[in-house]
């Protein structure tokens, strides 16, 4: 029982870390694209 609990917690932690990383990339990428488009238009 305890092993499954540990595995579940570890899985949740990995899921949280992955979601945070994805959010970071999602925030950075559009800004870079928008910045390039803005500079190109100007």
Q: How many domains does the chain have?
A: 1
pTM: 0.56
Rounded Cα–Cα distance for residues 21 and 25 (Å): 6
CA atoms within 13 A on the CB side of 9: 6
**What local confidence, expressed as pLDDT, does residue 5 receive?**
94
Of the two residues 37 and 21, the one the predictor is more confident about is 21
Give me the domain span that covers residue 12: 1-42
pLDDT at 25: 82
| Stated length of the chain | 42
Residue 12 has which token pair? 């949740």
Average pLDDT in the chain: 83
């Amino acid at each position: 029982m305890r092993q499954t609990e540990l595995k579940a917690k570890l899985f949740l932690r990995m899921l949280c870390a992955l979601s945070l990383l994805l959010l970071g990339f999602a925030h950075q990428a559009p800004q870079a694209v928008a910045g390039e488009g803005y500079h190109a238009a100007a």
